[in-house]
Amino acid sequence: MTAKYRLLALDMDGTLLNDEQQITPKTVEWIQKAVDAGVHVCLSTGRAFRSAMPYAEQLGLKTPMITVNGSELWREPFELYRRSLMDPALIQQLYEIAEEYGIWFWAYSTEQVYNRNNWDGDIMGREWLKFGYSTEDDEIRHKLLMQLMDLGGLEITNSTPTNLEINPLGVNKAYGIGEVCKLLGIEMSQVVAVGDSLNDLAAIQAAGLGVAMGNAQETVQQEADAVVASNNEDGIAEVIEKYILSEAEVTLGTDC
């Protein structure tokens, strides 16, 4: 008497949130229907915890959360389960590369987000989770990508077509969802993972059902099992209605 899919892992920006950074009433309604049907709903985001938590509270979620692309895993809101840190010497190196190209950068410590505007140089005195670059210049971004790949030991993704995000190798949303599955006692085959960017790709490939939003980057759409409406057209509501609750009804009907 259980649904085929037990966990819905949701990226936030470009997926759960529309372009106004809001969760629409229709999406809230369908997420509540999924929760009421016994489906775990997990935020899986590149954002830091404090930036993601207000949306979890809006949805009333008490489930595990994946933040900073998997560098932080939360057993439940405000209870940290696992954290993957980056070597401060690597952060120094990544910072120097940003300066070399003269491009925008940011870095997530365990306390706050630093960027070009508030960088104070205190690298060794902090614990680091993620580093990012942003540039509209395709040529610079390609050179940067090649340089980062040569460094090795990095998980390189993006959250928009014009940025690059760096986590420790092997730390991504698929890893995070795998850990959440262990906490919940379910299998990866029972997961629906939804996203729009390269930092969602590993999760979409690993999940039982990988779903790309209609606004997703082309590579993500090609790798997904299904493509739904965009983040401005309640794509998440479509995922739940079409692939999760309908599956539950079919399974319940069969078992009964």
Find the helix or strand (DSSP H, E) in which 96 lies: helix 88-101
Q: Which residue has the tokens 């902090």?
A: 126
Question: Mapping DSSP to helix (H, G, I), strand (E, B) and coil, where does residue 194 land?
Answer: strand
Dig out the tokens for 154 from the structure.
């990095």
156 sits in which H/E element:
strand 154-157
Per the CB < 8 A criterion, the answer to whether 16 and 10 are in contact is: yes
Residue listed under structure tokens 């690298």: 123
Amino acid at 24: T
Beta strands at 104-109 and 72-76: parallel, antiparallel or unpaired: unpaired
**Residues taking part in catalysis:** 11
